[in-house]
Chains A and B, each alone.
Chain A
Amino acid sequence: MAKDPSPKELSSMEYLKAGSRYLRGNLAEDMADTNTGAVSEGSAQLLKFHGMYLQDDRDLRPERAKKKLDKAYGFMIRIRLPGGVLTTQQWLALDGIAQTYAGNTLRLTTRQTFQMHGVLKFNVKTVLKRINAVALDTIAACGDDTRGVMSVSNPYQSKVHAEAYDLACRTSLHFKPRTHAYYEIFLDGEKVAGEGERDDVEPIYGKTYMPRKFKIGFAVPPSNDIDVFSQDLGFIAIVGKNDTIVGWNVAIGGGMGMTHGEPETYPRTGDVIGFCLPEDIFKVAEAVCTIQRDWGDRSNRKHARLKYTVDDNGLDAFRAEIAKRAGKPLEKARPYAFTSNGDRYGWTEGEDGKLHLTLFVENGRVRDFPDGPQLLTGMRRIAEVHDGEIRVTANQNLIIANVSKDKRDAIERLVKEYGLTSQSTALRRNAMACVALPTCGLALAESERYLPDLVTLLEQRLAAHGLADEDITLRMTGCPNGCARPYIAEIGLVGKGPGRYNLYLGAAFDGSRLGKLFAEDLDNDAIVAALDLLFAAFAKERKPDEHFGDYVIRAGFVAATRNGLDFHDRSGAQRAS
């Protein structure tokens, strides 16, 4: 085992976890303290394991101290929702919470779940109880654990989808922390006497959980909607005859986060290292998870994701250790082919005759827009009549799924009434942004609030070059941590400072290749100008069916990125247009 022989000082987070009595710490006391809307720093870290972030409204920060006010604290609450599937009853519950406690809005995340922002500390327990009342929770939705497990949303392969979804649910449950801390602290559950002092509460994680977040996803080709190569551990379905899944290719070491100016940090696409049978999937998953638990870097949190452990130890060492821990080696990976990582919009019919409607939700923001779609009200009305379920896609969109044929007209009427299918262009439908300002504490620049305007400008440029209907993926984040997976978008924009972005180009349309830094610190005008030149060249020089991300490499604008380790090499524009 190739581990660093010199013991390094553990990060403070490791001490916090170790001393937290399985994620309890001072949370109960801090949550009960009515004198502040915040919690202590340690509690804020532990909160993440329970699916919450302590945030504050950054728009208001400049005025607060002058007005003798503390920061405007609010909690971000994220649901654990494997595969992004929920019942209409659950939708209505979340909608009710949003109306009362979370500013009349729900946010669909890039990992197929919901976030609510700005929930006051004093309302957190009420909100979590209401979430619990509809058989949902927020356990491990954030934190150093196995985050929400993703699965393909592709609605027209109903049978395969059902299998992938079922697996996602079972995986989520399998890796869910066993501690009762969540129930004790937030749901007034009974105290489990002495649990904090025992050593065997978390059979998979142990007392210190994972070195860093650990993400799992299940993809079914040809759709790579979940961006399987961005997952720490991804599974790619190999579909055999009769639409049955014969097994899964295993990809490890994907991950988006990096830090500006620190080239030892980088995004990385996962490597497909083999194939396993459906019945072995938990053994393999647990092997990868525990290897990362044991080998992962617990000193430097910027080097703690599985992707660095993989690069530090090599794929062969991983394969061997997986074979050891899973009891058998992985088979050779099987062929597969992805075509895109986007969603298909509109009505589709599944193999079982049920209908599915995929609705575009710009940046995943569900609310009633003045002069725009009335998404919150419209979806409420739909949830009241719909007898199937609702799915959240990895592209922050919604699927009204399993609509029986006699309900189609009723739903279609509501969709029209509330303007839920406002016509939008190819670029907008393929665009994605993280939440960023004002709530996210990490944001360096705007994202969700800015992207729609930028898209409008870029659409005009595309139209000018006859590219209005071209599918190009465009993703923006307010910081380099990459929640909206900008490094695997054909156009990636990553916030550098207020109004400034780094521009990444050359990622593959199907999410299999990272982009490359093309230009730094661009403001709005510079972004539009730079892309306008590229659009012009693309329109002139492209081959039939060639995607924009492939073109910019072939045309020599940027160097291709092979994997994380060469992500920072040969960056910058390689050709003057």
Chain B
Amino acid sequence: MTAKPIPATAPFAEDEIHILNQVVGIATPTQRAWLAGFLSGLDAANAEAAPVAAPRTAEPLTIIYATESGNSESLAADVAKAARKLSFKPTLIDMADLDLAMWPKNKRLIVIAATWGEGEPPARATAAYNELMSDAAPRLDGVEFSVLALGDSAYADFCGVGRKIDARLEALGAKRVSDRVDCDLDFAEPAARWIETSLKALAPPDAGRGTVIPVDFAQKSAAASVLGPVEAEVTEHINLNSSRSDKETIHIELSFDGAAPTYKPGDSLDIYPENDPDYVVAFLKAAGLSEDADLRDDLRKNRDVTTLSLKALETYADVTGQQDVKALIASGEAAQWIAGRQLIDLIETYPAAITAEQLRKVTRPLAPRAYSIASSMQEVGDEAHLLVSAVRYETHGRQRKGVASNYVAERLKKGARVKVKVKPNRHFVLPAADKDVIMVGPGTGVAPFRAFVQERRATEAKGRSWLFFGDRRFNDDFLYQLEWQDALKDGILSRLDIAFSRDATEKVYVQDRIWERRADIVAWLDGGATFYVCGDAKAMAKDVRATLSRAFADVKGLDAEAAELAVRDLERNNRYQTDTY
């Protein structure tokens, strides 16, 4: 018998009730008691400024997170949860909202910082990060801290931001109570261990006497696990670029066996990719392990067999004893050598006898890849649409293919099945229906704005919508062109400005259009509009932000500093939101 304790009248959607019943219905009395306590504790923690009639003085703990994709943020929540069990009174602070003045107050400090792109802090946290690094940063004598760094070892400055914050806090006089841990994409387990260690180190002497329920952080919480991953079927697969284009941008539509996992406009979907079978074959051939079918299957589905990090290089040297690789590492030129290379280059260039187990060790787990969802459930129902640009390039004389994007482009044809998981993004959300939105989304950056426009059409939102789109060529690369034209006709899209970079001698980008329209943009923002940027983080997002700052300066007659503050103000009020990659 399956108990159904949650009544159909509960304030949840039908599918949510179903999910809750799956958990609560089968829970033991202990589990239910734990849940009850957990939920009330959660409410208390979330009632931010509300004065709590604390029965006893809990030790305050500040948890600062700098997040781009949401991982640091969810880990910070895990820390808060665990800290509460240890009688701390945790305060969660998004580094994006952090003021210099807030630093010294915190005697106990946890920092979880993601490193983004080529060693940069998450975009929203940049200003606070720069302040911390500047001479204006306050002394932090008497503060105890521990830092968790998140990153991607595929990039040169792995966990650079976390490392720098860790060093900076010490330099400012704070005391490191437990060692920093640097996490790669498979962060769950090392992060869980770090949480345990750090909280113990920060714990007041009398803590730990309470009834602590151990939490296995490697396991996702119940709520998270029912959100996915789930299997979806590809019901549509279209290359939106014309056959004359040198780009390939795939629009895929996914349907689910039953209800789609709930998502909101602005959320992403994690795709669990598989490796290119041809690459895996070549890779195994280079390793001399072509015969091992099990290994081939395992690597294809589960291991990252392309990313060449310093760590992978070191592991390879360790397990094989390859002298040339050891020499390369010793020479200090390894970082330079791995740039633009993949694991297959390592094995081909420095061949060595290697076993299947050793080879697995050299690789890291194959991580899911998040793509901004390009649809609204209000319009497409139980489907999710994605927009994926096939990444292909050549380095060191070899054709390279992005693992996830080419999995989508080349192998997820109509009818194929794929594992996905919703990745909520509460930093990229539509405002109230009567508010205006300005959306800047060149290339695949336009994906969430298709979701925005769909949502606003379905909900008959009254606010105006203004889209800036750009790509290479008007006739070949105008993603969703007909849909934007329809949206303009039916008034859901109020304005559209386009910038194509290869149609004329002068390259025009979205930021150029923003500059041309600066008077209207500032007027919209003064009227309460929210400004969104999605797409390339390396250049576009920075250029757009700088252009907006210049626009404020020009239109309002501000100096550069005041204009920058105006943009920061928007960011703090969640009216400048970015989803960049």
Contact = CB atoms under 8 A, between A and B. Distances in A.
B481 interface: yes
Nearest to A101: B504
B504 A126 contact: yes
Q: Which of B481, B483, B485 has the most CB of A within 10 A?
A: B481
Given A35-B485, A35-B488, A35-B496, A120 B238 contact: no
Given A37-B474, A37-B475, A100 B481 contact: no
Interface in A135-193: none
A72 B475 contact: yes
Interface string A99-121: 01100000000000000000010
Contact of B485 (A57, A63, A70, A126): A70
B481 A69 contact: yes
Interface residues of A, number: 23
B504 A73 contact: no
Contacts of A37: 474-475
A122 interface: yes
Contact of A122 (B240, B243, B503): B503
Contacts of A34: 496-498
Nearest to A126: B504
Interface in B471-499: 474-476, 478-485, 488, 496-498
A120 B474 contact: yes
Interface residues of B, number: 26
Contacts of A57: 475
Contacts of A35: 484-485, 488, 496, 498
Contacts of B497: 34
Interface string A119-130: 010110010000
Nearest to A99: B505
A69 B488 contact: no
Contact of A73 (B241, B243, B475, B476): B475
The listed residue with most A CB atoms (<10 A of its CB), out of B475, B478, B479, is B475
B243 A63 contact: yes
A67 B243 CA distance: 10
Contacts of A120: 474-475, 503-504
Contacts of A101: 504
A562 interface: no
B241 A67 contact: yes
Interface string B374-387: 00000000000000
B235 interface: no
Contacts of B496: 34-35
Contacts, number: 62
B91 interface: no
Contacts of A72: 242, 244, 475-476
A2 interface: no
A60 B474 contact: no
Contacts of B479: 68
A65 interface: yes
A60 B485 contact: no
Interface string B233-255: 00000111111100000010000
A69 B478 contact: yes
Contacts of A540: none
A67 B474 contact: no
Contact of B238 (A60, A67, A70, A74): A67
Contacts of B485: 35-36, 70
A567 to B, nearest CB: 41
Interface string A24-46: 00000000001111000000000
B513 to A, nearest CB: 9
A250 to B, nearest CB: 47
Interface in A65-102: 65-70, 72-74, 100-101
A96 to B, nearest CB: 10
B479 to A, nearest CB: 8
A126 B505 CA distance: 11
A64 interface: yes
A111 to B, nearest CB: 28
Contacts of B481: 68-70
Contacts of B243: 60, 63
Given A64-B242, A72-B475, A123 B482 contact: no
A123 B506 CA distance: 11
B251 A123 contact: no
B482 to A, nearest CB: 5
B440 to A, nearest CB: 16
A68 B482 contact: yes
Count chain B CB atoms within 10 A of each CB in A60, A67, A122, A123 and give the residue with the most.
A67
A64 B251 CA distance: 14
Interface of A: 34-37, 57, 60, 63-70, 72-74, 100-101, 120, 122-123, 126
Interface of B: 238-244, 251, 474-476, 478-485, 488, 496-498, 503-505
Q: Top 7 A-B pairs ranked by shortest CB distance?
A: A72-B475, A68-B482, A69-B481, A70-B481, A68-B480, A67-B240, A35-B496
28 contacts: A34-B497, A34-B498, A35-B484, A35-B488, A35-B498, A36-B485, A60-B243, A65-B482, A67-B238, A67-B242, A68-B238, A68-B240, A68-B479, A68-B480, A68-B481, A68-B483, A69-B478, A70-B485, A72-B242, A72-B244, A72-B475, A74-B475, A100-B504, A122-B503, A122-B504, A123-B503, A123-B504, A126-B504
